[in-house]
Structure formats: structure tokens, C-alpha cells
């Protein structure tokens, strides 16, 4: 559900979003181990996407400005996003009969955000890709950081300070064609493993995980200062941005030099940081990601 509300400042999300954590309501009815496994699957998507989309260089060229006259960035206008419907609840399973005198095993304690780190680290470690998750598992508030990354992606942003991960080994490179710098197609290959990892994700399981553990995800989203009921809109908005990224097959002209390249086409340069980084992955990799984004979006919306 979307409501009019004031956008949190980027600095609040990028540096201080953990300072206001107060909600420790448990999510009952699910095994903490099962809950962590499913949410970790969601974080797998976030980490892979964030790692693949993280800029290898700082793209924007800073404009000259007086230190005494800082330029205030305009708040982004968020595009509308659909609500993810809540499916009909499944019937409760029949309880097994317990003989008189038989001991009933104690139920596992309900999971809360405050006690989820250890289980999240263990589960993420079992998913593999240790280099990918090393920065995530070494920090606190694992689930909350993952939700903050989803929030950033939903606004077309890449919040580098929330999750510290190594950059791709190979560097971004360009070619000069008739006096014009263009992206070197060989640069696209460094993103092949991440695009392939996204392509191999089970979107059906992702949809099931979202619906099963939506309350805890919404609790984490509320810690960022948003309305909990708007988390579904953030997820759909992030997917819509990926799907709407233009497909460009052919040379992509650049301007500038060194670590300050920009897209020469002003329409491309006006895209969100997320979409511009997608273009740097190359058309084949973008298509792999886009196909998964469409599948996940359709599954979440019940289409």
C-alpha cells in the first residue's frame, strides 16, 4: 500500500539507519531456522544484484561549487508501484495426537530481528559464494542491511556504505572509435558470473519466501522510517526499474576521461544509478537479469 510520506535522507539510510531499531516483535508460527533460510534466499538476490551493479568507478563528474554554498540535491520522485496481494492463508495442518504421559518437544523460540544475525550468517555461509557474502556476514544487523539495500535499489540507488564488498577483479575499460570513447565490450564479461547467478535463482521459491515471511520483512523496512505496508511497493519499484532499463546493442559512446566517464547520450545519463550500472553489464547480461525480474514480478503479483 502506498501512502504520501516524507523520504528519509540518503545519509540516514546509508550510515545511520541502524540507530533507531526498537521493534523486536517476533514472527510466530515458523521455525527460526526455516525463516532464516528463506530470508537468506532473498538476501542472496540482493547481494548478487548489489555486487553486480556496484560501480567500479565513480561515474558522475562533480561540478565546481563553493564550500560555503553547498548544492542541495533534489529529492527523487518515486514512480508509483503496484501492491503485492496477500494470498489466501493455507489451512492449518492437523496436530498429531500425543499419548498421555508423552513429552511434547518444546517449540523453537520465535525469531526477532534482534536475534537473527547468527542464524543468518550460518545460512548465508551454506549458500556458497564466500567472497560475495564476506562483507555481509562480517557486519551486524544482516537482515536489516539487506532490506536497506532493497530500499536503495527501489529508488535507483546503490548504497555503498551499507555493505562493503570487493569490486570485480577486472577493471572497467573503454575503446576509442573514430575519436569517440565507447565502452569496451570485453568489460561486460566481468559481470557474467553475477548475471548467471541471478538467472539460476528459483523465483518460485523467492515468491513463497516473500509471502511466508512478509511480516518480518515489513518490520525491518519500518526501521528505515517507512510505512511497513509499503515494503511490497519498494520491491516492485526496484523490479520495474530493472525491467525499464533500455536495451542497447552496439557501441555506447562516453564523454569525459579517466574515472569520470559519463554517457554521451543525455537520455542515458539521466537514468538512475542502478540503470546506468545495468548498462555497464552489457546487453546479454542485462537481458538475463531482466528475464528474472519479470518472472519474480509476475510471481509476486500473482499474474
Reported as a single tens digit per residue, the pLDDT across 48-91 is: 666 666 654 433 333 333 333 344 444 557 778 899 998 887 66
Cell numbers 577486472 correspond to what residue? 170
Question: What pairs with residue 127 in β-bridges?
Answer: none
% of the chain surpassing 70 pLDDT:
59
The reported pLDDT for the residue numbered 48 is: 62
Q: From 16, 7, 158, 149, select the one nearest 73 (Cα to Cα).
A: 7
Q: What is this structure's pTM? A: 0.75
Residue 250 DSSP label: S
Lowest mean pLDDT among 20-29, 187-196, 273-282: 20-29
Distance CA 115, CA 255 (A): 49
CB contact at 8 A, 254 and 263: yes
Cell numbers 520495474 correspond to what residue? 240
Report the relative pairing of strands 254-255 and 262-263 from DSSP bridges.
Answer: antiparallel
% of the chain surpassing 90 pLDDT:
32
| b/e per residue 93-105 (b: at least 16 CB within 10 A) | eeeeeeeeeeeee
The residue with greater pLDDT, 185 or 161, is: 185
The residue with greater pLDDT, 78 or 287, is: 287
Residues 6 or more apart whose Cβ sits within 8 Å of residue 16:
none
Average pLDDT over residues 241-260: 88
For the ranges 44-58, 125-139, 162-176, 197-211, the maximum mean pLDDT occurs at: 197-211
The reported pLDDT for the residue numbered 31 is: 61
> To which H or E segment does residue 181 belong?
strand 180-183
So where are the chain's domains? 10-17+25-61+111-167+191-248+281-301
The reported pLDDT for the residue numbered 57 is: 43
- HSE, side-chain direction, 13 A CA sphere, residue 46: 29
CB contact at 8 A, 48 and 168: no
Residue 25 DSSP label: -
CB contact at 8 A, 71 and 217: no
Distance CA 47, CA 132 (A): 7
The reported pLDDT for the residue numbered 54 is: 61
Number of helices followed by number of strands (H, E) in the chain: 12, 4
Distance CA 189, CA 55 (A): 15
Amino acid at each position: 500500500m502506498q501512502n504520501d510520506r516524507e523520504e528519509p535522507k540518503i545519509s540516514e539510510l546509508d550510515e545511520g539507519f541502524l540507530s533507531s531499531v526498537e521493534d523486536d516483535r517476533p514472527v510466530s508460527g515458523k521455525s527460526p531456522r526455516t525463516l532464516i533460510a528463506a530470508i537468506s534466499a532473498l538476501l542472496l538476490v540482493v547481494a548478487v544484484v548489489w555486487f553486480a551493479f556496484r560501480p567500479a568507478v565513480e561515474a558522475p563528474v562533480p561540478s565546481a561549487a563553493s564550500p560555503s554554498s553547498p548544492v542541495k540535491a533534489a529529492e527523487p520522485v518515486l514512480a508509483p508501484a503496484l501492491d503485492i496481494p496477500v494470498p489466501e492463508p493455507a489451512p492449518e495442518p492437523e496436530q498429531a495426537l500425543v499419548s498421555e504421559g508423552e513429552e511434547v518437544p518444546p517449540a523453537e523460540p520465535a525469531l526477532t530481528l534482534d536475534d537473527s544475525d547468527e542464524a543468518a550468517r550460518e545460512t548465508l555461509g551454506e549458500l556458497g559464494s564466500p567472497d560475495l557474502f564476506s562483507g555481509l556476514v562480517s557486519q551486524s544487523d544482516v537482515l536489516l542491511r539487506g532490506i536497506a539495500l532493497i530500499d536503495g535499489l527501489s529508488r535507483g540507488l546503490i548504497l555503498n556504505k551499507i555493505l562493503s564488498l570487493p569490486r570485480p577483479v577486472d577493471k572497467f575499460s573503454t575503446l576509442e572509435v573514430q575519436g569517440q570513447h565507447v565502452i569496451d565490450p570485453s568489460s561486460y564479461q566481468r559481470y557474467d558470473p553475477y548475471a548467471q547467478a541471478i538467472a539460476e535463482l528459483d523465483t518460485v521459491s523467492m515468491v513463497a519466501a516473500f509471502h511466508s515471511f512478509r511480516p518480518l520483512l515489513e518490520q525491518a523496512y519500518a526501521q528505515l522510517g517507512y510505512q511497513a505496508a509499503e515494503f511490497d511497493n519498494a520491491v516492485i519499484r526496484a523490479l520495474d526499474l530493472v525491467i525499464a532499463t533500455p536495451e542497447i546493442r552496439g557501441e555506447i559512446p562516453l564523454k569525459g576521461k579517466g574515472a569520470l566517464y559519463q554517457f554521451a547520450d543525455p537520455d542515458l545519463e539521466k537514468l538512475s544509478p542502478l540503470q546506468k550500472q545495468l548498462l555497464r553489464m552489457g546487453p546479454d547480461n542485462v537481458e538475463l537479469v531482466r528475464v528474472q525480474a519479470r518472472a519474480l514480478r509476475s510471481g509476486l503479483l500473482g499474474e
